[in-house]
């Protein structure tokens, strides 16, 4: 099949522009059995209808978060009943699949479907309801059958995230100069149970450090970025893995600035990790603190102790790493007083 993977523009102006990493993983999973094109609506000069006309896809797949919901639904409505199979994927469709079907999509991919996506497309019909009956479908798909009944096979999680390397070669060269920085992922998922997070209890999985640095070299040397963000939920969860990754970066002499996301409850015995991170080029750690109220942290199941947070932040500062503290408004347990 011919598959157009669309990364839509946000419903409000973006803070920054970055690589659609989810589309790159899907592209890697689909080739060479399917023909793939990636279209980033944020940096491409062409309109989506022009790209669809030129590429003539069988499937239009839109990967989006809640911040891109309305623009994604407009794409679905625009191409509904036009002869294309419309698929939604990403964080928002994973948790609001029925809403996506009601908005015009035909099928929703829930979670991490790389392992089954190519086979799934092989078994699609080009006529509604698109999905042939009788197969034992894998997890990760939501749709309506021929009788109009909703079918939900659950949320997929990839156990081996080393299987695919993001297909960065599918990005048009002109995109890179328009992205504010490079993006990659060294790990996926989280073992913690914060009530506000879609990654809660999704299981922590990490990539081979050598493969990560291979990709980092490509981002720096081919894409031309000198600043890179690791989009991992909890980059510092396994300090030994972090040190191994940093050592690989240092040994290869990869020169770039990079940033990460981290929890703020790292045990003292692992603080040496910060020194290795700085040596390898880390310049910013974004700590997920969320609240300075202990009751709110407890109600949010964040599992943090306020008196420990500043110790970790201070140690990262001692390693000459810049600090960003992420805080949230509206968490359960702390009343908001509005002053007029």
- For 9-12, the CB contacts below 8 A with 24+ separation are 9/41, 9/42, 9/68, 9/71, 10/42, 10/67, 10/68, 10/71, 11/67, 11/68, 11/69, 11/70, 11/71, 12/67
Q: Give the model's pLDDT for residue 340.
A: 43
Q: Which CATH number does 181-327 carry?
A: 3.20.20.70
Q: 41 exposed, middle or buried (CB, 10 Å; 0-12, 13-18, 19+)?
A: buried
**Where are the alpha helices (H) located in the chain, listed in sequence order?**
21-30, 48-55, 69-79, 91-95, 97-103, 114-122, 173-176, 209-221, 239-252, 272-280, 294-299, 306-318
Q: Give the model's pLDDT for residue 189.
A: 95
- CATH topology for 2-152 is Rossmann fold (3.40.50)
Residue ranges of the chain with per-residue pLDDT less than 50 = 134, 338-340
Please compute, for residue 257, the number of CA atoms within 13 A of its CA located in the half-sphere on the CB side: 9
Could you report the per-residue pLDDT of 238-267, keeping only the tens digit for each? 999 999 999 999 999 999 999 999 999 999
- Write down the domain spans for the chain: 2-152, 181-327
Could you report the per-residue pLDDT of 151-160, keeping only the tens digit for each? 999 999 999 9
Could you report the per-residue pLDDT of 163-211, keeping only the tens digit for each? 999 999 999 999 999 999 999 999 999 999 999 999 999 999 999 999 9
Q: Give the model's pLDDT for residue 81.
A: 92
CA distance 97 to 142: 7
């Amino acid at each position: 099949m011919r598959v157009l993977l669309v990364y839509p523009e946000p419903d409000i102006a973006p803070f920054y522009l970055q690589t659609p990493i989810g589309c790159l993983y899907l592209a890697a999973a689909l080739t060479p059995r399917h023909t793939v094109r990636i279209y980033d609506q944020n940096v491409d000069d062409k309109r989506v209808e022009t790209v669809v006309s030129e590429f003539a896809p069988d499937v239009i797949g839109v990967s989006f978060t809640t911040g891109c919901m309305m623009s994604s639904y407009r794409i679905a409505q625009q191409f509904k009943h036009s002869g294309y199979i419309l698929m939604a994927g990403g964080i928002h469709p994973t948790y609001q699949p029925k809403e996506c079907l009601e908005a015009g999509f035909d099928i929703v991919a829930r979670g991490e479907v790389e392992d089954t996506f190519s086979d799934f497309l092989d078994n699609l019909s080009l006529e509604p309801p698109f999905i042939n009956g009788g197969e034992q479908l894998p997890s990760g798909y939501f749709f309506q059958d021929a009788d109009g009944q909703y079918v939900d096979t659950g949320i997929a999680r990839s156990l081996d995230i080393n299987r695919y390397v993001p297909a960065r070669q599918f990005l048009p060269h002109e995109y890179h100069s328009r992205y504010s920085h490079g993006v990659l992922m060294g790990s996926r998922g989280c073992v913690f149970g914060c009530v506000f997070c879609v990654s809660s209890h999704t299981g922590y999985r990490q990539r081979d450090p050598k493969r990560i640095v291979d990709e980092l070299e490509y981002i720096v040397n081919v894409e031309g970025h000198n600043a890179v963000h690791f989009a991992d939920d909890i980059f510092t969860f396994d300090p030994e893995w972090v040190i191994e990754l940093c050592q690989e970066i240092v040994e290869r002499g990869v020169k770039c600035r990079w940033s990460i996301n981290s929890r703020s409850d790292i045990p003292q015995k692992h603080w040496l990790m910060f020194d290795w991170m700085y040596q390898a080029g880390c310049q910013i750690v974004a700590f997920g603190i969320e609240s300075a109220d202990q009751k709110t942290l407890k109600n949010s199941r964040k599992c943090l102790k306020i008196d420990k947070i500043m110790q970790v932040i201070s140690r990262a500062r001692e390693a000459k790493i810049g600090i960003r503290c992420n805080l949230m408004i509206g968490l359960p347990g702390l009343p908001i007083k509005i002053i007029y």
